[in-house]
Amino acid sequence: MKFTLKPTDITEIESDAVIFFSFDTTLANLIKEPFPFAKILKRAVEQEKYQAEFSKTLIISSPPESSAYKLMIVGLGKEDEFDYIKLQEAVGQAVSECRKIKARKITISIMEDWMKKLSPTTAVQAVVEAVILASYSFHKFKSSSSSETVTIEEVVLSAAPARLSAAEEGLRIGQIYAEAVIFARDLVNNPPQLTTPTYLAKTAEAIAKSSKDEIKVKILDQKEITKLGMNAFLGVSRGSDEPPKFIRLHYKPGNPKKKIVIAGKGITFDTGGLSLKDAKNMETMKLDMAGAAAVLSVFQVLSKLDSSYEVVGLIAACENMPSGKALKPGDILKAINGKTIEVLNTDAEGRLTLADVLSYSKDIEKADEIIDLATLTGACVVALGEDIAGLWGSNDKFLEIFEECAKLAGEKLWRMPLYAGYKDLIKSHIADVKNIGGKWGGAITASLFLHEFAGSTPWIHLDIAGPAYCEKNTPLSPIGGTGYGVRLLLRYLTSS
Ligand code: BES
Ligand code: ZN
Ligand code: ZN
């Protein structure tokens, strides 16, 4: 998809659709001279009693001599509710309308009204990301070119001349962020027979190779993992014929401000192990490496962005399979930090692999901060639904900054309690902790379990079991992996 930035008069740009956006209260400005196409927009707005409600579109055929085939107004609704996410959803809606009219070249008017809430750079970034993400499709496993759907090939962004340099930066960053999100979506959407732990390791190696030495990679095999004592991780991997891989990616700028570990749950397929899932719940379990996919995707673009932090990406990649060698309910595993874990349900495997990763981050990496992303619990999806990630952490300041980044990255999350009162629920009578809690509050007890291993290091845990994957088409993502968390991590890692 080609983007160009133009300060030119919008009425002169040749395109299939020219798209304007409007709040309900600013519609009057859009249909008033000297606004381009004002007369024709006015007629349609009045005729159809259009009020620019959020996400409502009005499509107008333009006169034959016009440079545009169609004109479109996309409603932004109430101005005081407007933010990064709202803008992206509206753009996503516009893209889906463009698909219907088979528009190949579109022009988007960057509206001055947005700048009251968003900086020009951020606004343009939001638009660019949204156009690319809304246009994404995954069809490489279709045998015929059944993708007859017309895709947008060219996007002209029309901005006020004074906004051009900021818009240029927004365009650059938006393209990089979207590239990373798409990288994650592809990884999650690939079938699990392809996306094995070895495949993730090879992907990490390819990322390092293409970074021209800015990113270093280290892959530990089963023998080395055993030597380190990561027995919780190895316990999960035991039932599988695929060898586990411990992946470490490393980015270090000159004089880094701090060292941040980003860790992603990397279960390349979760059958539940001997605590086997039923067929329905297993259908989408290739998604269980979405956290790992987000980490890899961040490194895919990190050297193109200015991060002043040392960033380490860690992934304990393995499959969770039942077999004669598999982990059994009742088994006790000793994690790398010496803590013993009674395994009562082999389907609560993510926290076992993360126990070793978090301890490693704290004791061996000596990280200043740890962020983990994990498709950890169905309970989190029950609590927050499919759109919103659960956020836990041990440090309020860190959580606040992270929440701000989420707002600016268009990623939905909600802070949840790391309620110490539930710690008794993960006490084992035979080991230090057990890997399941009681009947209720499963996402909280899972977080408390992780906290045991992150210890005193400032730590954030994102349970992305809901938003990592969407089961229906949405304006910004088709069915499948969403690439959740990538933009949030990139925002955080490039914040000051
Ligand atoms: N990978 C699943 C969590 C999950 C569920 C992700 C739905 C995405 C969608 C995880 O390993 C799991 O199975 N968790 C169990 C924990 C339980 C056994 C304590 C769960 O949530 O049921
Ligand atoms: Zn599981
Ligand atoms: Zn899992």
Residue 148 has pLDDT above 80, yes or no: no
Q: Is residue 400 part of a domain?
A: yes
Same domain, 186 and 141: no
Same domain, 298 and 426: yes
Instruction: Check pocket membership of 470 for ligand 1, CB cut-off 6 A.
Output: no
Phi/psi for 73 (5° steps) reads -110, 130
Tell me the per-residue pLDDT of 197-211, one tens digit each, with 9 for 90 and over: 999 999 999 999 999
- pLDDT at residue 11, rounded to an integer: 84
Kindly identify the ligand whose nearest atom is closest to the C-alpha of 375. Answer: 1
Q: What is the DSSP letter of 116?
A: G
Same domain, 20 and 154: yes
Residue 147 has pLDDT above 80, yes or no: no
Atom of ligand 1 at shortest range from CA of 281: 7
Residues around ion ligand 3, judged by CB within 5 A, are: 267, 270, 288, 350
Q: How many CA atoms lie within 13 A of 342 on its CB side?
A: 14
Hey, which of 267, 271, 284, 347 would you mutate to test ligand 1's pocket, going by the most ligand atoms within 8 Å of its Cβ?
Answer: 347
Residue 189 structure tokens? 């959407």
Report DSSP letters for 352-366, one per residue. HHHHHHHHIIIIIS-
> Which CATH number goes with the domain that contains 135?
3.40.220.10
Q: Is residue 23 part of a domain?
A: yes
How many Å lie between the centroid of ligand 1 and the Cα of residue 377?
4
Same domain, 311 and 385: yes
Tell me the per-residue pLDDT of 343-352, one tens digit each, with 9 for 90 and over: 999 999 999 9
Residue 146 has pLDDT above 60, yes or no: no
Residue 290 structure tokens? 């979405």
Q: What is the mean pLDDT of the chain?
A: 96
Same domain, 139 and 223: no
Residues around ion ligand 2, judged by CB within 5 A, are: 270, 347, 349
432 in a labelled binding site: no
Same domain, 472 and 378: yes
Handedness of CA 441, 442, 444, 445 (dihedral sign): positive
In contact, 318 and 353? CB cutoff 8 Å? yes
- pTM above threshold 0.75: yes
- For the chain, the domain total comes to 2
> Which CATH number goes with the domain that contains 471?
3.40.630.10
Hey, which of 327, 377, 388, 434 would you mutate to test ligand 1's pocket, going by the most ligand atoms within 8 Å of its Cβ?
Answer: 377
Same domain, 243 and 311: yes
Alpha-carbon distances, residue 27 vs 33, 94, 241 (angstroms): 12, 17, 61
How sure is the predictor about 184, in pLDDT bands with cuts at 50, 70 and 90? very high
- pLDDT at residue 9, rounded to an integer: 80
- pLDDT at residue 123, rounded to an integer: 97
Handedness of CA 401, 404, 410, 413 (dihedral sign): positive
The predicted model gives 434-459 an average pLDDT of 98
Tell me the per-residue pLDDT of 283-329, one tens digit each, with 9 for 90 and over: 999 999 999 999 999 999 999 998 999 999 999 999 999 999 999 99
Active site residues: 277, 351
Same domain, 146 and 234: no
Domain of residue 395: give its range.
181-493
Instruction: Check pocket membership of 345 for ligand 1, CB cut-off 6 A.
Output: yes
- pLDDT at residue 402, rounded to an integer: 98
Same domain, 298 and 356: yes
Atom of ligand 1 at shortest range from CA of 349: 11
Tell which residue, 172, 169, 21, has the closest CA to residue 88. 21
Same domain, 223 and 125: no
Tell which residue, 172, 17, 3, has the closest CA to residue 107. 17
Q: Is residue 48 part of a domain?
A: yes
Instruction: Check pocket membership of 436 for ligand 1, CB cut-off 6 A.
Output: yes
Same domain, 97 and 194: no
Residue labelled with tokens 């393209």: 175
328 in a labelled binding site: no
Same domain, 278 and 362: yes
Q: Which residues contact 404 (CB under 8 A, 6 or more apart)?
A: none
Handedness of CA 52, 55, 56, 61 (dihedral sign): positive
Domain finish residue from 127, 158, 189? 158
